[in-house]
Amino acid sequence: MAVDVLIPNAGQTSGEATILRWLKKPGDSVKIGEALLEVETDKATMEVEATAAGVLQGVRYETGAVVPVLTAVAVIVEAGERPKPPARPSGFPFKEEGEALSPPAPIRHARRGGGAQPDSGDLLAIMRAHRPGRALASPLARALAADTGLALTAVTGSGPRGRIMKRDTQSEAIGARPSQPTTEPGSRWIPFSATRRTIAERMAASWREAPQVTLTTEADAEALARLRAQFQIDLPDADDLSYTDLFVKIAAAALREQPQLNARVEDGGIRLFDAIHIGLAVDTERGLVVPVIREADRKGVAQIARERRDLAERARGGRLRPDELSGGTFTLTNLGAFEIDAFTPIVNPPEGAVLGVGRIVKKPVVRDDELRPGMTVVLSLTFDHRLVDGGPAARFLQRIKTLVEKPHLLIA
């Protein structure tokens, strides 16, 4: 039985992807999980993997094609099988084996009272009809236009159906200056990039929709520092085990004990999650991304450390899969590496809470009524006040403080 190869849904992106290259060619044998092609969205570059074993056939789109997500770009068949090609969305060039690229068929618009109806496969026409005034452009073209301040409405597209391609924005941008507000002496104006605009819209929406409160406490980090040092001695390949890894484990344990914050507000109610999936805020050249460590409460610190290193490395290279950027139930952000003591993190929608971790710093502390040197860390919990009141949130943060000061309780 033939299985379609689909462009994955990349989450909060433009809904389109550009095919960068095919890693397999028609006739190649493939295994489940094997990478077939590489695509780029306005958020990341990712590989599309095979969901079935067999032979790759029916490659419908070439390198450089821009296609909507969930579009079938090829099929995987059993050896010797010749499936009938499924219907394809019009408006995009593609090529079957031995078939030349052909221009897209004209769009047929619906008429009141009957008449010709839109082609059911004409996804672009439908998308355009529901988004009046939005220029038809590829993700790369949009990103370039945003970076240069170029208005897409002023660009003539050379792609199918007049779609604006990257080459069009490049040509238009040569010698052109970004449109910008009135210049003020001693200043310069920089337009949002596509990624920065997405972050800005999400953070503004979070602040508008969720009444957010931040609670702050200071914890004794001496025992946590000793535990990290011991892990680095006793665990293989744990030389770069970070405090973030320990805080992921601590937050997951606290969420398991007090699940009110492993939740979100949804449809006039509260959705509680059984699984604990912790997102980690990662700073990249393209902007902030939040890959997710799944089932964090069921994993040891060493496994969390391996996953954190891998996710962070691929996040900075723009190589995360869509599923690795979605599904979080709680977020952790650590600014200790930047010598930040305390801050007020913003809830990552649609989640209900985020834990901010400051630097672990050596300073004078009072123990047993005596002033002595010690290690401390400031913890900041921001939560959606629609989800819980101050009391439950305070108890949750108090539990995290206790686990930081007495990490042996993690195995109790």
Range(s) of the domain holding residue 173: 135-191
Domain boundary among 80, 102, 126: 126
Domain boundary among 105, 126, 147: 126
User: Do 50 and 160 belong together in one domain?
Assistant: no
Per-residue pLDDT tens digits of the chain, which is 412 residues long: 789 999 887 655 557 788 889 999 999 999 999 999 988 776 677 889 999 999 999 999 988 888 888 899 999 998 877 655 544 544 444 444 333 333 333 334 334 444 444 443 444 443 443 444 567 777 777 777 776 677 777 777 777 667 787 777 766 655 454 455 677 888 988 887 767 777 888 899 899 999 999 999 999 999 999 999 998 888 877 668 999 999 999 999 999 999 999 999 999 999 999 999 999 999 988 788 999 999 999 999 999 999 999 999 999 988 888 889 899 999 999 999 999 999 999 999 999 999 999 999 999 999 889 999 999 999 999 999 999 999 999 999 999 999 999 999 998 7
Q: Active-site residue 389, yes or no?
A: yes
Catalytic residue among 28, 122, 385, 408: 385
CA-CA distances (angstroms) from residue 357 to 216, 224, 245, 293? 10, 13, 12, 17
User: Do 187 and 236 belong together in one domain?
Assistant: no
Distance CA 34, CA 341 (A): 44
Catalytic residue among 28, 240, 310, 389: 389
User: Do 56 and 146 belong together in one domain?
Assistant: no
Q: Active-site residue 385, yes or no?
A: yes
User: Do 87 and 26 belong together in one domain?
Assistant: yes
Dump pLDDT digits (tens) for 348-362.
999 999 999 999 999
The number of distinct structural domains making up the chain is 3
Specify if 203 maps to a domain.
no
> Which CATH number belongs to the domain containing residue 300 in this structure?
3.30.559.10
Distance CA 295, CA 320 (A): 18
> Which CATH number belongs to the domain containing residue 107 in this structure?
2.40.50.100
Distance CA 279, CA 281 (A): 7
| 191, 177 Cβ separation under 8 angstroms | no
User: Do 176 and 70 belong together in one domain?
Assistant: no
Specify if 283 maps to a domain.
yes
Q: Which residues contact 350 (CB under 8 A, 6 or more apart)?
A: 264, 265, 266
> Which CATH number belongs to the domain containing residue 148 in this structure?
4.10.320.10
Q: DSSP labels for 7-62?
A: PPP-SSS-SEEEEEEESS-TT-EE-TT-EEEEEE-SS-EEEEEPSS-EEEE-----
CA atoms within 13 A on the CB side of 412: 10
Q: Which residues contact 348 (CB under 8 A, 6 or more apart)?
A: 202, 206, 279, 281, 290, 328, 331, 354
Specify if 155 maps to a domain.
yes
CA 74 vs. chain centroid, Å, equals: 25
